[in-house]
Amino acid sequence: MIVGAIVGAIIGAIAGAITNRGAAMGWIANIVAGLIGAWIGQGLLGTWGPSLAGMALIPSIIGAIILVLIVSLVVGRTSKK
């Protein structure tokens, strides 16, 4: 479970770095984005590619990127009102 949280944090940090929206996210948000992103990515794209702690890395990163973009759009819209 601890390894999964660490891998989730790394996946979330990579997604935040790729989208340039990860600096405002804390470690807890990175872990959540990584874990939920892994679930989304593997649900949409399958479990191909290298795997670590039961998470297929490439689909997980893609899913986390999708999640970070959607959340940043929603948060950006609500904070501007």
What does the alpha-carbon distance between residue 7 and residue 55 come to, in Å, rounded to a whole number?
Answer: 8
pLDDT reading at 75 higher than 80: no
Average pLDDT for residues 54-76, to the nearest whole number? 84
Amino acid at 46: G
Per residue in 7-52, pLDDT (tens digit) is 888 888 888 888 876 666 677 777 788 888 888 888 888 888 888 8
